[in-house]
Structure 1
Amino acid sequence: MPLSAAPTPGAEVTRTGPALDEAPWQLQILSCSRKQKASAVPGTGPCPAVMAEVDLLDVPSLDKAAGEEFLQEAFGVILEEAVRRGTDVTEKVCDWKEPEDLRHLLDLELRGHGEPQPQVLQRCRDIIRYSVKTCHPRFFNQLFSGLDYHALAGRMITETLNTSQYTYEIAPVFVLMEEVVLQKLRELVGWGSGDGIFCPGGSISNMYAMNVARYHRFPDCKRRGLWALPRLAVFTSEECHYSIQKGAAFLGIGTDNVYLVGADERGKMIPAELEKQISQAQIEGAVPFFVSVTCGTTVLGAFDPLMAVADVCERHGLWFHVDAAWGGSVLLSQKHRHLLDGIERANSVAWNPHKMLTTGLQCSAFLLRDTSGLLHRCHSAGATYLFQPDKFYNVAWDTGDKTVQCGRKVDCLKLWLLWKAVGTEGLEKRVDRAFACTRYLAEEIKKREGFQLVMEPEFINLCFWFVPPSLRGKQAQANYWERLGKVAPVIKERMMKAGSMLVGYQPHGSKANFFRQIVTSPLVTRQDLDFFLDEIERLGRDL
C-alpha cells in the first residue's frame, strides 16, 4: 500500500494520544468486518483488527500540515525575537542568569513524552531571550558580530536543504558555487589559479595547512605515519593564534617543536628573530618545514611583515602559510589592503569571512596556491561508496575527498548570497566602515579623561584602559598596575548584569587587563560608539 494510502476499507480508524498540535499520533484499528475475517488467507497472519497498530510503514511518521504550521509560527518567533528585538538598541544584549537559575528557567531535562506546540514555541522564545544577542549593535565582544539578512537567508536555505558537500551527485549547486567563491577569494589573494576548500573554522584551516605542508615535504607520512618523519619544526609568532600549537599537538608534531618567534612592540613578527629560530632548530637536530604568520592577531590586531618573512621562507625552502582568518577580509579594501602586501607569495591562506563580512558562523576558507592536486592527495581515502570512479559524470566535481571530513556542511551559500546582494563594492564599504568606526573611537578616547590607548590601532582591534578617578595621576605608585588590572573585570561584570553591552578584556604579556573593542556589525552607528564610551565611564566611575 502506498505510504499516502488510507487504511483497509471497513476498518474503523481513530486518532489517539495528544492532538495534532501536540505530540505525534498513532493510528489504531478498533474493529474489522466479518467479511475481512472470513476472507483472511490461512498462514498470512492475523486480521488487522487483532494488531495494536497499523503497520508503521503504512502512514507517515510526521504530520506534514502540523509541521508546516509549526514552522510558520517558529519563523515568526525568530523574526520577532531574534532578528527585530535582537538588533534593537533599546533591548538588552544579554539577560544574565547564573547557571543554576538558567537551568531551572529553561527546563532542559529531556523526557519520554512530547510537549504541545504552544509550549515548544515558548521554548524557542526562552532560548532566544536568554541567549547573547551577537547581532545587537552594542555587542563588541568577539571578532564576529552583526547580522546580514541575505547571509541569514542563505543559512536558512542551507539548513533546510540539509545536504552534505562531498559529491556533485547530492550537492550539484553547492559544489559549483563553492568553486566560484573559492576562486574569487584566491583572486583577491593575488593568485590566478589554485585550490581550496571550506573548513569548519580557522583553526582547522590552519591545521590543514600544516598537514598539507608536511605531506608535501614527506609524502610517505600518509602511509607510514610518524615513523617516516624526522623531528619537525614549526615556526610562528609569539602573537599567533593558539590553533597553531593545537594543530602541532593533534598532528603528532608536538608543541615543544613549535618555535615561537619574537614580536615587536606592536605584535608583529621580527624576521631576524625567525632566522635565529630556524638556525636554533637546526642546531637542535630538528627539520624546519613550516612557517605560519598572522594577518590580524587576536588581541592587538597586528599584521606580520609578509614580504620579509616570504624572503626567509624562500631562502630556507619552507612552506609559507598566512593565517588571515581575522584580517583576510581587508583584501577587499583598496584603501587598506596594503596591510597584506606579500600575501600572494604564500603557499596557503586561512580566511574567515564569518568575521568581518558578517556571513554568520561558520564560514572559513582554506586556500592553496598549488594546482597539482596536493590537497586531494594528502587527504583522500577513496571510499568507493561515495567516490565511485565509474560515475556517469566527471568525478573531478566530487570534491569531498579533499578534506578529512566525510559529511561536510555547506558554508559557501551564505557568503555567495551576500556577495550577490551587495557586490564586491558593498563588501569593500563594510570593511572601510569598520576601520572608520575604530578610528572614530580612537580619536574620542584621546579626548576623554580616564581613557588611555594601549597603542594606536592599525586594524579594527581597539585596545584601551579605563582609569577610574581613584587611580588617575597615581601611575608612580607601586601597586598602580595591579589595581588597574582589576578595573576591567568589574566593569565587564556590571555591563553583563545590566545587559547594556558586551566587550572583551584580557591581560597581554606584562600589560594589565585592558579592553579590546571590535566593530564589525554594519548596524553600528555613531550613537552606539558614543554610548559605548559613556557606558564604560558610567560603570567604572566609582571604582
Structure 2
Amino acid sequence: WFTDLLPAGNGERYTQDFLLDVFNILFNHIQKTFNGKSKVLDFHHPHQLLEGLEGFTLELSDEPEPLEQILVDCSDTLKYGVKTGHPRYFNQLSSGLDMIGLAGEWLTATANTNMFTFEIAPLFIIMEELIIKKMQELIGWREREMDGIFSPGGTISNLYSVLVARYKFFPIVKTKGMAALPRIVLFTSEHSHYSFEKTSAVLGIGTENVIAVKCDDRGKMIVSDLEEKILKAKEQGHVPFYVSATAGTTVYGAFDPFSEIADICEKYGLWMHVDMCYASKASYTSFDFWTTERLIFVACLSHVEIAKIYAPNTDQARFLSSTLARLASFGGPCVIIGGCGRQTWERLSPGRTGKLHSILHTSPQSLVHKRRILKLWWYRDPTTLRKIFPSTPSTCWRCNAATGTYLHVWWECDRIRPFWKRVFQLPKNAVYYASFCLLLATSIPLFWKTTTIPPMALWISTMNDIMRMEETLVLDNDTYDKFTVGLAALLLLRHAGYVASYRPKGLLQACNQMCAKYLFQPDKPYDVTYDTGDKTIQCGRHVDIFKLWLMWKAKGTCGFELQINKCLENAEYLYKKLKTLENFELVFPDEVAAKIKARMMEEGTAMVSYQPLKDKPNFF
C-alpha cells in the first residue's frame, strides 16, 4: 500500500521495488515507441474509456487501492495513450522522444521544485540565465540589451509579447487598466496562429481589435493591405500599436516578408513581433549558404524599436533571419541579415542597395563597424557604388583582366582560388568549417589590397575581429564558427521550452513585477536580481530549463546541428520520393482527409494532422 512507501519508516525497500517496477513499465513503453511495427495508439472512443477496459477504470474510489493495481494503472495509461515518439507520429506539438531530455524530465520531477526565487531553485535559476546568455551571444546582443524567460509554449510566448508591447506604449495600463487607454488594435496575418486572438481576449484588448491582414496565394502577408488597414484604423480613431509577422504559418508554412513589414512598423511607430515556428531550419540554412557560395554578415542595430531584417531573395535566408527573430520574440529591434550568391549580388537593384546603405548610415553603430559593412559592397557593382566610393576601380586589381566585382576579386580570380582551396582543406570537419571561412571572406577583403595571395597567418589573425563582432569560438586544431552553425539547437525540441526575450533589458520586469513582500524581499543574503519570479505572470514555473541544459551538455551545439540536419535530409528525401509517385496528390478532395485519419487512428497505424484553409478542402 502507499502507506508502506517513503517517508514511512523502513520504507526504503518497498519504495525501491515500486519505483523499479515503474521504471520497467516506462522502459518497455520506450521500446515499443521506437518499434516502427507497433501501433501509434490503441484507439478507443470516449465512452469506451469511461466504461472501463479489461480491468482498467478511470473512476476514482473512496478506498485506497494496492500498489499492484497502481502499477497496472500505470501500464494501461501508457497502453491506451498516444506514442508521440513513434516514427509514424506526425501530429501537432511533439517532435520525438529524446533520451537525454527524458532523463532531465525525470530529474525535474524528482527535484519537485518551482522557479521563482534563487533560494528555492538556485541551480535551475543559474541554468536559465546561462542558456539565455548563450542565446544572446548567438544573436550578437550585449548582456544589458536582452532579457528573457522560458515559458510553457508558443502561445504564452506570444501573450508575453503583446503584454510587454502594450506596457511599453501604455505603461498606465498596469495600474489603471484598459479603461485608461484609447481603443488599441493589433495586426496579424489571416494565416497566423489563433493565439493572438486568445491573447487579446485574455488581456482585455478584445478579439474584434485583432485585425487580420490578407495573404497572397502562398500564404504570405500582403504588406500593402497591412498599411491600408493601419491607415483605416487611424481614420476610425483607433490606435495601432503592434504587428505580428509569422515565420512558418501553421498550415502553409509560409514566411511573411519581414523586411517590408519592418519598414511599415518603423514608418508608423509600431512594435513588430516575429512568431517563428520553424526554428530548426536555420541549421540547414548555414550549410545551404556554404554549398551555394553565399556570404553572410550580421549587423546589430538599435535605432528603431522593431526587428529589422534584411533578407535576400531566398527562402533559406528567411529561415535564418526568422530564427534570430524568434530567439528574441523580438519586440525590439535588431538584426539585419545580408546574404548573396554569385547571381544574387548582381541582381540587387540600386534601390535596394541604397536602402541598405541608408539603414547603415542611420544606425548608431561604431564607425569602424559601419565602414566595414559598407566596404563589403566595394566590388559588387563599380558603377552603382562610385557614388559612395568615387575611386572604385572598374577592373580586378589582382589580374587586371576582368570586371572588379566583389565576387570576382575574392572568389573567381585565378590568383585567389589557391588560397581558398588551401583554407577549406585545413579542417577535419569541413561542414562546420564552411561558415567560418565564409565569414572570413567578408573580412579579409576590407584591408588586403595587394595582388598577392593572403598568407595563412593573416587569415588566422583576422578571426579575432570576427570573434569580437560575432561572438564566435576559435579552437586550436579544428577551427569553426559556432555562431552560424548552432542557432537551431536552441529550440530543437519543443518540449524543452520556449523563450520569450525582449529588448531593452528590464522591460519584462517592469511590466509584470508586483513586488510581493513575502517572496521578493530586497535584504536577502544574495544578489536578488536572481529572483526571476516577478518577471512572469505565473511567479512559480515548472523547471523546463533543466532538460535543455542537460541535452546541451550531452550533445553540444554541434550535436544539435547534426541531429537537425539529419531530420531535414530525411524530410527532403521523402519529398523527392513523393514527387516521383504519379498517383500521389498532396491535397485530397473534401472529406477524404478526415476519413483517412479516422481509419488510421482506429487501426493505430499512424497519426497525421489535417486541416482546411479557406476554399481549400481538408488536406494533410
Same fold at TM > 0.5: yes
In 2, are the aligned partners of 1:505 and 1:514 still within 8 Å (CA)? Answer: yes
Matches for 1:399-414 after TM superposition, within 5 Å = 399-414=532-547
Partner residue of 2:426? Answer: none
Distance 1:264 1:437, change over 3 A: farther
CA drift at 1:354:
11
> Residue 100 of structure 1 aligns with which residue?
47
* Equivalent residues of 2:4, 2:14 under 8 A apart: no
Give, in whole Å, the separation in 2 of the partners of 1:341 and 1:437. 20
Partner-residue secondary structure (3-state), 1:451: coil
Matches within 5 A, 1:249-264: 249-264=201-216
The separation in 1 between residues aligned to 2:201 and 2:125, in whole angstroms, is 32
Stretches of structure 2 that go unaligned for 5 or more consecutive residues are: 289-315, 332-486
Deviation string, structure 1 residues 111-157 (Cα, Å, up to 9, x no partner):
12222222111111100000000000111112422111001111111
Partner residue, 1:90: 37
Unaligned runs of 5+ in 1: 1-21, 27-58, 453-463, 467-483, 516-543
Give the whole-Å Cα distance in 1 for the aligned partners of 2:600 and 2:14.
42
Deviations 1:195-235 (A, max 9, x none): 10011211111011101000000111101111221000101
1:195-206 matches, within 5 Å, as: 195-206=147-158
Shift of 1:345: 7.0
**Cross-structure match for 1:474:** none
Higher helix share: 2
Separation in structure 1 between the aligned mates of residue 321 and residue 578 of structure 2, nearest angstrom = 33
Q: Among residues 329, 340, 350, which one is paired with 2:280 in the alignment?
A: 329
What's the TM-score once normalised by structure 2's chain length?
Answer: 0.66
> Residues 139 and 146 of structure 1: is their aligned pair in 2 closer, same or farther, counting only changes over 3 Å?
same
The C-alpha deviation readout for 1:58-80, integer Å capped at 9, x for no partner, is x9489343223211110111011
Q: Kindly indicate whether residue 259 of structure 2 is the aligned counterpart of residue 307 of structure 1.
A: yes
Deviations 1:40-96 (A, max 9, x none): xxxxxxxxxxxxxxxxxxx94893432232111101110112x11111112111101
Q: 1:514 to 1:61 in 2, by over 3 A?
A: farther
Q: Is 1:216–2:351 an aligned residue pair?
A: no
CA offsets 1:92-118 (integer angstroms, 9 cap, x no match): 111011112122123111112222222
Q: Deviations over 1:366-398 (max 9, x none)?
A: 111222x11001000111111110001010111
Give the one of 346, 349, 358 matched to 2:329: 349
Aligned match for 2:607, one of 476, 495, 502 = 502
SS in 2 for 1:292: strand
Secondary structure, counterpart of 1:65 in structure 2: helix
Give the TM-score of the pair, scaled to structure 1: 0.75
Deviations, residues 421-452 of structure 1 (Å, cap 9, x unaligned) = 11212222232233322222222222213322
Contact 2:49 / 2:58 at 8 angstroms: preserved in 1?
A: no
**Aligned position for 1:130:** 80
The DSSP-based 3-state class of the residue aligned with 2:587 is: strand
1:229 aligns with 2:181: yes
Aligned amino acid, residue 562 of structure 2: K
Partner of 1:69: 17
Q: Secondary structure at the match of 2:40?
A: coil
Do the aligned partners of residues 345 and 300 (structure 1) sit closer, same or farther apart at CA in structure 2, a change above 3 Å counting? closer
How far, CA to CA, are the matches of 1:428 and 1:354 in structure 2? 6
- Letter of the aligned partner of 2:221 in structure 1? M
Shift of 1:257: 0.9
One-letter amino acid of the counterpart of residue 291, structure 1: V
Sort the Cα spacing of 1:348 and 1:422 in 2 relative to 1 into closer, same or farther, 3 A: closer
Report the counterpart of residue 24 of structure 1 in structure 2.
Answer: 3
Structure 2: distance between partners of 1:161 and 1:235: 42
- Residues 510-521 of structure 1 aligned to structure 2 (within 5 Å): 510-515=615-620
Query: Counterparts of 2:547 and 2:86 in 1: how far apart (Å)?
Result: 19
In the alignment, which residue of structure 1 is the partner of 2:128?
A: 178
Name the SS of the counterpart of 2:534 in structure 1: helix
CA distance in 1, matches of 2:491, 2:85: 13
Does 1:116 pair with 2:95?
no
**Secondary structure of the structure 1 residue equivalent to 2:329:** strand
2:186 maps to amino acid? V
Greater Cα shift, 185-194 or 144-153: 185-194
Query: For residues 326 and 554 of structure 2, what CA distance do their matches in structure 1 show?
Result: 30
Deviates more, 1:268-277 or 1:171-180: 268-277
Distance in 1 between residues matched to 2:571 and 2:508, nearest whole Å: 38
Question: Which residue in the other structure is 1:293 paired with?
Answer: 245
Q: Which moved more, 1:389-398 or 1:266-275?
A: 266-275
CA drift at 1:255: 0.9
Take 1:122 and 1:184, find their aligned partners in 2: how far apart are those partners? 44
- Deviations 1:308-334 (CA, angstroms, capped at 9, x unpaired): 21121111111111111x213333441
> Post-superposition, which runs of at least 4 consecutive aligned residues in structure 1 deviate over 6 A?
350-356
Residues 355-434 of structure 1 correspond to what in structure 2 (within 5 A)? 357-358=492-493, 360=495, 363-371=497-505, 373-434=506-567
Amino acid at match of 2:266: E
Residues in 1 aligned to 2:246 and 2:132: alpha-carbon distance in whole angstroms: 20
* Correspondent of 1:448 among 547, 557, 581: 581
Deviation for aligned residue 1:509: 1.3
> Which protein has greater RCO, CA pairs closer than 8 Å, 6+ apart?
2
Distance 1:293 1:187 in 2: 24
Alpha-carbon offset, residue 335 of structure 1? 3.5
Distance change in 2, residues 1:419/1:355 (3 Å): closer
Return the index of the structure with the highest Cα Rg: 1
Cα gap change, 1:171 to 1:353, in 2 (>3 Å): farther
For the Cα contact (< 8 Å) 1:359–1:414, is it kept in 2?
no
Distance 1:341 1:237 in 2: 21
Q: Tell me the SS of whatever aligns to 1:191.
A: coil
Q: Distance in 1 between matches of 2:591 and 2:155?
A: 31
Partners of 2:63 and 2:611 lie apart in 1 by 46
Contact 2:116–2:534 at 8 Å: present in 1 too? Answer: yes
Moved more, 424-433 or 392-401: 424-433
- Residue 512 of structure 1 aligns to a residue whose secondary structure is strand
Give distance in 2, aligned partners of 1:126 and 1:321.
43
Q: Work out the CA distance in 2 between the residues paired with 1:200 and 1:301.
A: 22
**For the residues of structure 2 that align with 1:385 and 1:436, how far apart are their CA atoms?**
53
Q: Distance in 2 between matches of 1:166 and 1:248?
A: 26
Answer yes or no: is the 8 Å Cα contact 1:350–1:364 preserved in 2: no
Equivalent position amino acid for 1:382 in 2: C
- Tell whether the 8 Å contact from 1:329 to 1:353 is kept in structure 2 after alignment: yes
Deviations 1:235-269 (Å, cap 9, x if unpaired)? Answer: 11111100001101111111111111111211111
1: CA distance between counterparts of 2:560 and 2:326? 24
Partner Cα separation in structure 1 for residue 189 and residue 550 of structure 2: 35
- The letter for the 1-side match of 2:35 is D
Instruction: Give CA deviations for 1:346-373 in whole Å, capped at 9, x if unaligned.
Output: 895189999972363x6111111222x1
How many residues get paired?
430
Question: Cα RMSD over matched residues?
Answer: 2.4
